[in-house]
Each structure stands twice: as structure tokens, then as C-alpha cells.
Amino acid sequence: MNDIGKKFILLGCIALLLGGCLSGKHPYKKIDYYTLEYDAPSIANLHTFPLVLQIERFQVAPVYNTSKIIYRQRPFTRDAYTYHMWRANPGDLVSHFLARDLRQSLVFKAVAAPNNGLLASLILQGTVDEFYEHDGKDYWEAVLSVSITLIVNNETDISNRILFQKSYNARKACRQKNPRALAAAMSAAMANISESIITDIYNFLAEDCRSSQEQCAPT
């Protein structure tokens, strides 16, 4: 065997050894995934309106439109963790948990997802404006901002279509400086915002029914 052949064999052996080391001795670092986790708000003295609400997937501000966990350490900067991620996009997380909470509140006859076949009376659209970890000098906190718009379905007159629009903000301190504590704080922020949204929508519909004297009185 000539010298060139020996060199090829030697290079092949080195490649195999390196491959074995990378796959066995030095595996890629595991990515940890997080989600929101909290009990649905319990709001007393709410009645059921004979209406079907459809919740659309919430849009997300461009900088937070990712499953990566975004954090802020300095003004005008946003960074992302490499090995810590949300299980789903913030738009999916917020709209899913808000839909769950609205169903359990029993404010509506039904709460439907898009394209599920139910004829919706109202549509709830929204945007996740902020969804990040704020790293201060002596503290970490979860920052969540959500904007919603309540719309009458199949209303051609745009002046009558939008019923209600509002923005909500919540900041919750992290008990520790790690992503798991952030997930817990973000869950608490979502619980507060969800309760406020449900209460505001209920109060608006109750007042609207009283003022218009329509047949939408709660049961």
C-alpha cells in the first residue's frame, strides 16, 4: 500500500473516532421546553349569555414571534436563550389559555376555535404585544402585554362591527433567576390578564344588553 492509501485510511479512522466521541462522549445539550400552567380564574356571580364566541389565534409582535424565550438585559436590546424554549409560540399559548378560561367561566353558551363549524355570534381577535423576561440588576420579572378586539360576526357596517377594544399589561416577579421561575411568573401574569379580560367582556356585554334592550339577557 502506498503512502497516499495509508493517509486515506488514517483520515478515515480519525473521522470515525471523532464521530463516536461526538455521539457518545459529548452529546448535544438537551433543550428544555416550558409552558404556562395555572388554574382558570374563578369569578363569582357571572351568568351565561346565549352567544357563541370564536377566538382566533392571537398575532404576535415581531420581536416575540418565536418559541425562543426572549430576555432583556439592557435598553433597546433583546436576546434569546439557546437551550430554553417555550413549548409553543406565544400567540398559541395566550389564545389557548384564554379560550380555556372563557369556557370555564361559562360567560358564553359556547367558546369555539376557528373553523370548527359553529356559527359564532362574536369573534375575539388579539395581539401579544410583549412576552419576555426582564432582567434587572437585583430582580427578574415576566412581562406580558395583550391587546384584544371583540367583533360582531357577519356585520357589514364597520362602524357597528367593533364592540370592544382594550390593552392589558402585567409584570410578575420571578422567585429565582432561571427560566422555570420565569414560566411560573409568566403563568401568574397570564392568569391576571385572563381574569381582567373575562370580567371586562362580561361587564361590557351586560351593559350593552341593558342599553340596547336586545334579547341577549344572561340566563
pLDDT per position as a tens digit, 143-152: 999 999 999 9
| 117 pLDDT above the threshold of 90 | no
Give me the mean pLDDT over the 134-141 stretch: 94
C-beta atoms surrounding 54 within 10 Å: 23
- pLDDT of 142 reads 98
Residue in 73, 84, 51 with CA at minimum distance from that of residue 136:
73
Cell of 7: 493517509
Torsions phi, psi of 188, nearest 5?
-65, -40
Q: How confident is the model at residue 210 (pLDDT cuts 50, 70, 90)?
A: low
pLDDT per position as a tens digit, 45-73: 889 999 999 999 999 999 999 999 999 99
Give me the mean pLDDT over the 203-211 stretch: 81
| Side chain identity at residue 14, one-letter code | I
| 16 pLDDT above the threshold of 90 | no
**This model's pTM is above 0.85:** no
Cell of 175: 422567585
pLDDT per position as a tens digit, 89-105: 999 999 999 999 999 99
Q: How confident is the model at residue 160 (pLDDT cuts 50, 70, 90)?
A: confident
- pLDDT of 2 reads 56
The helix-helix angle for 179-212 and 90-105 (nearest 10°) equals: 50
Query: Which ranges of the chain would DSSP assign to H, the alpha helix?
Result: 3-20, 90-105, 158-161, 179-212
- pLDDT of 118 reads 76
- pLDDT of 8 reads 47
Least confident piece of the model among 6-10, 55-59, 136-140: 6-10
- pLDDT of 23 reads 40
